[in-house]
């Protein structure tokens, strides 16, 4: 069976301490990793530092930090430092993110995302090796510096996130793992073929490339409330977060639904956007309902060959109590 991890809430939380407390709850219940998204709220590095200081065993890392707002050398320094603070429990997750965030929030052109991701992977590894950085790429030309502290005692794996065929192939060819999100089981299996093709191109051992699937989970005694929260979450991502999620759903056989959701959201009719999500799509993309139903829905993701870790995320509108209830319902020590 795959590991179970937490994908900490993407929605704003009351404090850094509240995020750390969720990671501690995950550690208490046997979750493998606490993955932290970085969007336009608290930065991932500061929060991960606090989590590292207040936990002992759970793995941790960003899922994801983008490859535009920090230089590749700085991300290598950051990973080196976080690995020291975390006593070897860090795993980095990087990706382009999308133009909505990169251009609208960071003010950087969303240019050549795949090439940029590859160069980040290569540069970060060189930085963390402690060797002198001499790099001549298509985007970055760097020379003459090396870490002035010791490199990490435990090497830091670097995963890449991606949704399209080429980005997933890149993860298989160059990264230490792939982070997947908003996938049906069938859609994920199709992308796993791209990942394997990348492994072959890179002459990689499949055992060296870890697959982490982040999916939305909500397990409440009020099953209707859980499903409504999950439906709201999906409508927001398809309707408000650019074209990536819509295009990914279209590739997975839900083109009509994806465009209907996006059109309704764009016109300001959020109720229509929610109504455009049929139950079969909601079930195909997550695990929501009563604890019994949600756990049963989770099993379809855990049964996919090639998935090493299923990370439980939470709907944007979930309360603190609802998040904690979901963590407890899906806990590995209860499986």
The boundaries of the domain holding residue 193 are 3-221+307-334
Question: Nearest 5°: CA angle at 294, between 291 and 299?
Answer: 125
**131 domain residue, yes or no:** yes
CA-to-CA dists, residue 255 to 180, 243, 248, 277, 290, angstroms: 19, 12, 9, 12, 29
Question: Is residue 226 in some structural domain?
Answer: no
Q: Domain for residue 190, yes or no?
A: yes
- Report d(CA 193, CA 204) in Å as an integer: 14
In a domain, residue 40? The reply is yes
Domain CATH code at residue 163: 3.20.20.30
pLDDT tens, position by position, 148-201:
999 999 999 999 999 999 999 999 999 999 999 999 999 999 999 999 999 999
> Is pLDDT above 80 for 241?
no
For the four alpha carbons of 322, 325, 330 and 333, in that order, the dihedral sign comes to positive
Say what the pLDDT of residue 22 is: 98
CA distance 182 to 18: 25
**What are the pLDDT digits (tens) for 2-51?**
999 999 998 889 999 999 999 999 999 999 999 999 999 999 999 999 99
Residue 244: the pLDDT is 77
**pLDDT (mean) for 39-64:** 97
pLDDT of residue 240: 82
Number of domain units in the chain: 1
Domain assignment present for residue 48? The answer is: yes
Note the pLDDT of residue 333. Answer: 76
Reported pTM: 0.95
Give the residue, 72 or 239, on which the prediction is more confident: 72
pLDDT surpasses 70 at 334: no
Residue 10 lies in a domain: yes
45 HSE (CA, 13 A, CB side): 15
| Mean of all residue pLDDT scores within the chain | 95
What per-residue confidence (pLDDT) applies to 245? 84
Would you say residue 266 lies in a domain?
no
């Amino acid at each position: 069976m795959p590991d179970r991890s937490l994908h900490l809430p993407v929605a704003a939380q009351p404090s850094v301490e509240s995020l750390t407390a969720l990671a501690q709850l995950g550690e208490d219940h046997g979750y493998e990793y606490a993955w932290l998204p970085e969007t336009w709220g608290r930065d991932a590095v500061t929060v991960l530092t606090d989590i590292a200081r207040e936990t002992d065993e759970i793995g941790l890392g960003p899922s994801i930090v983008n490859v535009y707002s920090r230089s590749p050398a700085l991300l290598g320094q950051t990973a080196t430092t976080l690995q020291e603070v975390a006593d070897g429990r860090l795993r980095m997750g990087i990706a382009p993110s999308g133009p909505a965030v990169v251009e609208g929030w960071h003010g950087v052109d969303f240019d050549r995302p795949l090439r940029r991701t590859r160069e980040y992977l290569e540069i970060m590894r060189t930085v963390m090796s402690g060797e002198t950085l001499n790099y001549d790429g298509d985007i970055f030309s760097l020379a003459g510096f090396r870490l002035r502290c010791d490199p990490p005692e435990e090497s830091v794996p670097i995963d890449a996130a991606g949704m399209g065929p080429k980005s997933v192939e890149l993860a298989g060819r160059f990264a230490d793992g792939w982070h997947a999100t908003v996938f049906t089981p069938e859609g994920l299996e199709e992308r796993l073929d791209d990942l394997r093709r990348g492994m072959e191109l890179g002459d990689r051992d499949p055992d060296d490339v870890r697959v982490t699937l982040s999916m939305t989970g909500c397990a409440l005694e009020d099953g209707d409330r859980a499903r409504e929260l999950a439906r709201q979450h999906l409508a927001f991502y398809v309707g408000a977060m650019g074209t990536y999620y819509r295009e990914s759903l279209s590739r997975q056989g839900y083109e009509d639904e994806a465009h209907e959701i996006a059109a309704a959201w764009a016109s300001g009719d959020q109720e229509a956007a929610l109504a455009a999500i049929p139950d079969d799509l909601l079930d195909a993309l997550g695990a929501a309902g009563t604890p019994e139903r949600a756990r049963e829905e989770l099993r379809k993701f855990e049964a996919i060959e090639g998935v090493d870790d299923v990370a439980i995320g939470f709907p944007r509108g979930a309360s603190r109590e609802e998040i904690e209830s979901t963590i407890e319902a899906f806990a590995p020590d209860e499986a």
